[in-house]
Amino acid sequence: MLALGRDLSYPSILGRMIGVAVTGASSYACGRAASVAPAGALEGVRAQLIAIRAGTPRFAHLLQRERLFQQLFLADPDPRLPEGARTLIADAHAQSRTLFDGLGRALLRANARDRLAARIAAFLDAQRLDWPACAERMEEVTQRFEWNPMVRDSFVPLLRRHRDGLLKIDALVCAASLSLARARTGVLPRDAASACPPIEPEAKCGEQGASQRILEDGEGLRVSVTLSDGSDYTVPLAPIRRGSATVLVGPR
């Protein structure tokens, strides 16, 4: 399911919207399943999660694809274009069934194309900032262009869900890593960062990681990460199994 969420995200912003929904719906169940998995299974799970995390498209790439799709929506039919582009343009024209729709599209096209280029360029520039400055900058850009009916939809809520989806995968990877480390040594590392793989150092904005914590309370040992809305996403750690007994070893 998590790999499906990644693969759905490649084509467009709409694909990423579906992809983050799939990730959100399956991540909690994946965490519970991993918490009862044996060490041998966790080895493969950990490697797959790292590959899914690395293969999820950057939000900047999604914005570049969105610009292309919106440019095609404003374009005229051209036989030199690929079949997929011609189909998209034909569908867009078919939706403009009234005289007003066609006239409005013709009048707004030049203005919308320029504004779209400026808006996407500003969004891409914001992607170079760290979190949460990049989200705040994108909010500013959205407000600046909100009047334009061709580009009024906001990408900022999706950016936050995109980041939260990656944070959930990070927590799953970290929980699998900590469970494996404890299974091998019999003790839990003192902090999550010592056992969990680091996020690539050049990652910015929605691709950045967040600090993860090891919690121990009445619910047992868990890895926790704070999401964009301030809520916590937690993943239980798998217990150590020795014969038929289950032993929970806390941090020392």
pLDDT at position 110, please? 62
Say how far apart CA 138 and CA 154 lie, in whole Å: 9
Rounded CA gap, 36 and 111, in Å? Answer: 57
58: Cβ–Cβ under 8 A, 6 or more apart, which residues?
Answer: 127, 206, 207
Cα–Cα distance for residue pair 120/64, rounded to 1 Å: 7
User: Residue 158: pLDDT above 80?
Assistant: yes
Global pTM value: 0.80
How do residues 207-250 score in pLDDT, each as one tens digit? Answer: 999 988 988 877 678 999 999 999 999 999 887 654 433 434 34
Tokens coding 28: 């909690």
Torsion, Cα 196 161 123 16, to 10 degrees, reads: 100
> Mean pLDDT throughout 186-194?
79
Task: Judge contact between 31 and 175, C-beta under 8 A.
Answer: yes
Mean pLDDT in residue range 77-94: 74
Per the structure block, which two tokens stand in for 134? 């990049």
DSSP state of 251: B
**Token pair in block for residue 226:** 């704070």
- What CA–CA distances, in Å, run from 24 to 17, 60, 108, 167, 215? 11, 21, 37, 11, 22
CB 222 within 8 A of CB 237: yes
Give the neighbor-by-neighbor strand order of the sheet with 232-236.
212-217, 220-226, 232-236
In terms of residue numbers, what domain contains 224?
A: 1-252
Give me Rg for the CA atoms of the chain: 22
Q: List b or e across 152-173, with b for residues whose CB sees 16 or more CB atoms inside 10 angstroms.
A: eeebbebbbbbbbbbbbbbbbb
- DSSP H or E segment with residue 241: strand 240-242
What is the domain count for the chain? Answer: 1
State the average pLDDT over residues 57-72: 83
What is the average per-residue pLDDT within 105-134? 81
**How many Å apart are CA 214 and CA 248, to the nearest integer?**
14
- Reported as a pLDDT band with limits 50, 70 and 90, residue 48 is very high
